[in-house]
Structure 1
Amino acid sequence: MNKLPKVLPLALSVELRLQQPGLDIQAQFRVLPGRVCAIVGRSGAGKSALLKATAGLHPSLGGRVALGNQAIYDSTAGVNLPPQQRRLAWLDGHAHLFPHLSVQGNLEYGLARAPKPVNGPNFDAVTQWLDLRSLFKARPARLTPSQRFKVALGRALLSAPRAILLDDPLSGVAEHDQPPLLDLLAQVPTRSKLPVVLISPRMNEVIRMADDVIVLHEGRMTSGGPVPQILSDVSLSTFLEGVNAGSVIEGEVKRHDIQWLLSEIDVAGQRVTAPAVLHAVGRKVRLKIRARDISLHRDLLEGSSASNQLRGRITQIMLAGENGSYGAVGVELDHVRETGDFSIQPGVQIWALLTRRAIQEMDLAPGQPCVASFKAMSLAVSSWR
């Protein structure tokens, strides 16, 4: 028997203009297959409206949405496919399961929506991955929020979509139940090879899942790029995390200290100590450190409780106005070669938030070598898909 033809994943390109009451929204972005683009910003910035317009659930004033070279919305060419024909899977915190159908019925509904003849996801593989087989006969009203989420995710994947749109998908699940579901979500881009767009107010989800991020402020894109670059830009803290602003850096687990329940992570050739993580040696991880938790020194410290001391060089100093009480100091980390020599590793940068007095008394200036210190307990470590 001949196999059904497979359709290669395509990039999702979005360039839209739309309106909400009191807000004019304009944005453009492109997501490659197997990658995740997160849209972040304050509440009311237009994030959900932009995602709904991409799906055809909100009217647009103009622009274009395309999968590869195929437009599913193009105001100039008069193309405007209805949502059910765009083949963009939508998942939010409400699940939207059919109450009159069983779990199996909901899943089979998704499978029936997959176009033929095209090889879509395998029903048995998806239901086994999500551990749904024991729930087949249950109705949605009897499910827990976590179970409803998994059924909705399975139904979305079984419909063989061309891209996946996630609008705060874990908002309907209690916080203590979110971590295992986030682990499942983080596997989706790799398993499906589809472009994924994520909206979430929780930065741990963005750090865990996203490859790229765009910042939306009052309907306009203020910045965009790789996660470590954008989420480490303290100049965007007003739009993002405020007092929790800091740096996101990528590393690799190198060693576990069982005696002290600590893990060592390589960052630019230097070792960072963190509370024990469950990730295997060799696993890529992301580390989040608040700028206010970092101290700067001229030389390495002795007899300090700050177990992490990273060598680097000051790149810039941003003061909070002429009369502000603090400033942000950017430090580019030295890259340590296996020979023990130091060199600059462009792009690996952390930020320290210091008082203006400390900056002045230390006479800090761009180009100066320094040591950035912080406690192991100040780190948040996340696996990175």
Structure 2
Amino acid sequence: RPVIAGRVALGADALFESRRGLNLPPHQRRLGWLDAEAHLFPHLTIERNLAYGARAQGPRMKVAPGLDVPSLVKWLDLSAMMDRRPHELNASQRVRAALGRALAADPQGLLMDDPLGRVHDPERPELLELLAQVAHRFHLPVLMATPRMEEVVRMADDVVILHDGRMAGAGPIAQVLSDVSLSTFLEGFHAGSILEGAVTRHDIEWVVSEVDICGQCVTVPATLHPVGTRVRLKVRARDVSLHREVPTDSSSTNVLRGRITQVMLAGHSGTYGAVGVELARELDERLELKAGAQIWGLVTRQAIEQMNWQPGEPCVVGFNAMSAQVTPLPWTSSKRG
């Protein structure tokens, strides 16, 4: 029988601590739960399901702003289904209702286990936007498990990578998801880097937008996010090219200056290797690079050896605007209500 040991806490409040023999019962933990099954009471209407959640608040404290049932109904767009029962709703609607019931209980934190697992693809983006707002809208810590990388990029501040039941990596999202040594556990050949910046301009004529990354301009497909919005860019390592000088004849609309930090080869006879580049935050008068974000390029071993790429060398990173996937940071949204 496996030994369960360790400590689980919300802030300074321990929920479980094996050394002290502490293991709070569920009703004292006050944690909300949401998964793909929704687990709504089938014999109750959505209105009564929400009312059940509200009754679970208990005498702990006054309900946090926005967590009263009328506010949740409006935010989650549940008004048209209040008289219906769970079996009359589709998967997306059931998740909305279950999220409302969990939040109505005024939890101290929210646990989510693949909540979009049964939601059809066309309905996922809008529901994902709602989930991404929870932590900052209601000032709640959120822990979410999901197998889909687009949900991680949209939701997470910090990431833990689990492989075969063990932790393979942990840390800030930009650091962990840009670590090509974890690509086997993440997206394999689709692995890449996460860059964080802010939208600075929209070009209506060319239908593109510009994002500031470490003081350098990156062009991306036109985004609806307003100027000033903090965003994340996902760039696949296989879409990145490396140059010694800015190319004069290339379809890569993005050329960023940086310095090589690491060269990783897949063995002495492997086909490819990964080159890590720290982007320049800015260039001073002597053209000395200052530390910025990290981006990886996946190139052939032949190219690495022929170019003789070495750590410490300045280089230029190139990638096409269409290679960048843009996602707002979790605490930013153009749909706040």
Task: After TM superposition, list the pairs within 5 Å mapping 1:110-121 onto structure 2.
Answer: 110-120=53-63, 121=67
Aligned-pair RMSD on alpha carbons?
1.7
- Given the alignment, which residue of 243, 253, 270 partners 2:216? 270
* Residues 188-234 of structure 1, C-alpha deviations (whole Å, 9 max, x = no match): 00112111111111111111111011122222222211100100000
Residue of structure 2 equivalent to 1:74? 17
Q: Give how far 1:75 is off.
A: 2.7
Of residues 46, 54, 59, the one that matches 1:103 is 46
Distance 2:291 2:156 in 1: 21
- Residue 335 of structure 1 aligns to a residue in which SS? coil
**2:34 maps to what in 1?**
91
Q: What number of residue pairs does the alignment pair up?
A: 327
Residue 309 of structure 1 corresponds to which residue in structure 2?
255
Q: Secondary structure at the match of 1:62?
A: coil
- C-alpha separation between the residues in 1 aligned to 2:261 and 2:5? 42
Question: Is 1:287 the equivalent of 2:233?
Answer: yes
> Shift of residue 77 of structure 1?
2.7
Gaps of 5+ in 1: 1-17, 20-59
What are the ranges of 5 or more consecutive residues in structure 2 without an aligned counterpart? 331-337
Output the CA distance in 1 between the equivalents of 2:116 and 2:235: 24
Structure 1 equivalent of residue 334 of structure 2: none
Q: Is the 8 A contact 2:281 2:292 kept in 1?
A: no
The question of 1:370 aligning with 2:291 is answered no
Identity percentage of aligned residues: 54
Q: What is the one-letter code of the residue matched to 1:212?
A: D
- SS of residue in 2 equivalent to 1:76: helix
1:278, 1:355 → 2: CA distance? 36
CA distance in 1, matches of 2:219, 2:286: 21
- For residue 197 of structure 2, the aligned residue among 229, 247, 251 is 251
- Once the two structures are superposed, the pairs formed by residues 163-202 of structure 1 within 5 Å of their partners are 163-202=109-148
Shift in alpha-carbon separation, 1:189–1:72, aligned structure 2, 3 A: same
1:65 aligns with 2:11: no
TM-superposed deviation, 1:172: 1.3
**Structure 1 runs, 4 residues or longer, greater than 3 Å off:** 339-345
Q: Distance in 2 between matches of 1:161 and 1:344?
A: 47
Deviation at 1:341, TM superposition (A): 7.3
Provide the C-alpha distance between the structure 2 equivalents of 1:214 and 1:343, rounded to a whole number of angstroms: 35
Report the AA paired with residue 129 of structure 1: W
Higher strand share: 1
State the distance in 1 between where 2:286 and 2:100 align.
50
**Partner secondary structure for residue 336 of structure 1:** coil
